[in-house]
Amino acid sequence: MSTLLLGIVLLALMNLAFKAVGPALLGNRSLPEPAERVLRATGPGLLASLVVVTLLGSRWSVFDATILPGLALAIGLRSLGQSHPVCALAAVMVTGAVRLVA
């Protein structure tokens, strides 16, 4: 088994274990409201940090302007009520087209 395949399998097993721990520990109980708010905020926070690092580079030294049209389109589509996959696909396509032209 190659190292890459072994890494993928181990990562999948780790993911499964982490997802099973929550329901196993909580059972039918729900989390307290402050914990729910923190968990709901982590997704958008991680996405925003990914966008900033992609736009400005890992040390904030390289500005990649080719991402801006795709990002603007994704924000516009999302504000019009489109789903996340549609926004992401449209942003990738526009960014790819801009990078081909640039």
Residue 70: exposure state from Cβ atoms within 10 A (0-12, 13-18, ≥19): buried
Per-residue pLDDT of the chain (102 residues; tens, 9 = 90+): 688 899 999 999 999 998 888 788 877 888 889 988 998 899 888 988 888 888 888 777 888 888 899 999 999 999 999 999 999 999 999 999 999 998
Count: domains in the chain: 1
Question: Is residue 64 situated within a structural domain?
Answer: no
Structural domain of 10: 1-30
Q: What is the model's pLDDT at position 89?
A: 96
**Measuring CA to CA, which residue among 31, 13, 33 is closest to residue 22?**
31
- Rounded distance between C-alpha atoms, residue 25 and residue 18, angstroms: 11
Question: Is residue 93 situated within a structural domain?
Answer: no
Q: What is the model's pLDDT at position 10?
A: 94
Question: Is residue 20 situated within a structural domain?
Answer: yes
The helix or strand, by DSSP H or E, that contains position 32, with its residue range, turns out to be: none
pTM of the entire predicted model: 0.57
Q: What is the model's pLDDT at position 1?
A: 64
